Amino acid sequence: MNDTRPTALIAEDEPLMRERLKERLAETWPELEIVAEAADGDEALALFDVHEPRVAFLDIRMPGRTGLDVAAAIGSECHVVFITAYDRHALQAFDAGAVDYLLKPVETDRLAQTVARVKAKLASVPTDLTQIVAALRAHATPSTARLRWIKAAVGKQIRLIPVDDVVYFQSDTKYTRVVLAQSEALIRTPLKDLVAELDPDRFWQIHRSTIVNVSQLAGVLREDAERQFALFKSRPDKLPISRQFTHLFKQM
């Protein structure tokens, strides 16, 4: 392998997210050669052994072996960038010594910062991520990572609301609206903190200001190629879906 040639492996189980990352890497780091793409952790490890890339972009959550498993195995041999939907996990990984992290959906400006940091570290020895991964796993247990109840203000009262009852969360100036089938409440928790706490299989961010409960969705209204809206079983609301989140609805 030519030690001076920048090469990379992308391990991401969502094809659309993987393709988007490739396209944006081509814009921000055109000399980088993507030598391998993997849809799960086992495939990532096998391809790493064959291609020996200098950089690995690893989704933290993947079928089979996770991105954390892969990082523990290869982190001393290449520079790792974690891809994640969780602020908490990403910040822990970055603060603990990983090269960098990317939050889904990957934004071009953020990717450009990551590319600059990775380039600066290519000449150095990669960080051994064994201890970092162990710390991440300890913090990623279901008991600490999943929000089950919301304390919210309803008039002059404070209610304890099961998250299962929430239809959607929506940013509203300095508050976040907690919208139920028949009522609403307000909390001060920012939407980005809710994204990190809620189960991503049950709650989807569909817009920079909106998180929806998947079980409350009735369907998607596609007005044209550019505009799509989430519809709900228990409310007449029609909420816009940003283009970067439309991939979540491909199987609906």
Q: Do 42 and 133 share a domain, yes or no?
A: yes
Query: Of the residues 109, 143, 177, which one is the last residue of a structural domain?
Result: 143
Residues 6+ apart with CB under 8 A from 192: 87
- The residue with greater pLDDT, 207 or 135, is 207
Tell whether 16 and 83 lie within a shared domain: yes
Shared-domain flag, residues 72 and 173: no
Q: What is the pLDDT of residue 97?
A: 53
- My answer on whether 98 and 39 are in the same domain is yes
109 compared with 56, residue with greater pLDDT = 56
Answer whether residue 1 is part of any domain. Answer: no
* pLDDT tens-place string over residues 106-161: 888 889 999 999 999 998 888 777 777 776 666 554 444 578 888 887 777 778 89
Alpha-carbon separation of residue 185 from 11, 166, 198, 233 (angstroms): 40, 10, 18, 19
- Whether pLDDT at 88 is above 60: no
In a domain, 2, yes or no: no
Q: Are residues 151 and 139 in the same domain?
A: no
Give the mean pLDDT of 102-106: 79
Residue 210 vs residue 200, higher pLDDT: 210
Q: Are residues 39 and 128 in the same domain?
A: yes
Residue 173 lies in a domain: yes
Q: Which domain holds residue 126?
A: 7-143
Q: Which of 70-84, 142-156, 158-172, 208-222 shows the lowest per-residue confidence on average (mean pLDDT)? A: 142-156
The answer on 107 and 53 residing in a single domain is yes
Is the bond leading into 105 cis (omega within 30 degrees of zero)? yes
CATH code, domain with 211: 2.40.50.1020
The residue out of 122, 143, 164 marking a domain boundary is 143
Q: Which of 4, 9, 60, 21 is nearest to 247 (CA)?
A: 21
What was the pLDDT predicted at 92?
A: 58
pLDDT-derived band at 2 (thresholds 50, 70, 90) equals: very low
Q: Are both 67 and 55 inside the same structural domain?
A: yes
Provide the pLDDT confidence category of residue 245 given band limits of 50, 70 and 90: confident
Domain total for the chain?
Answer: 2
Residue 58 maps to a domain: yes
- The answer, yes or no, to whether residue 239 has pLDDT greater than 90, is yes
Tokens at residue 199, please? 């189960």
pLDDT in the model for residue 44: 94
Which residues are paired to 186 by β-bridges?
A: 153, 177
153 within 8 A of 186, measured Cβ to Cβ:
yes
Give the model's confidence band at 247: pLDDT under 50 very low, under 70 low, under 90 confident, else very high: confident
Q: Can you state the angle between helices 108-121 and 15-28, rounded to 10 degrees?
A: 70
Q: Assess whether 135 and 29 both reside in one domain.
A: yes
CATH number of the domain enclosing 62: 3.40.50.2300
* Residue 182 domain-assigned (yes or no): yes
Q: Does residue 21 belong to any structural domain of this protein?
A: yes
Residues 77 and 104 in one domain: yes
Mean predicted lDDT score pLDDT of the chain = 84
Predicted local distance difference test score (pLDDT) of residue 141: 47
Nearest residue to 198 (alpha-carbon basis) of 173, 164, 159? 164
Residue 186 lies in a domain: yes
Q: How many CB atoms lie within 10 A of CB 15?
A: 12
User: Residue 113 has what pLDDT?
Assistant: 92
Cβ-based burial of 79 (10 A; exposed 0-12, middle 13-18, buried ≥19): buried
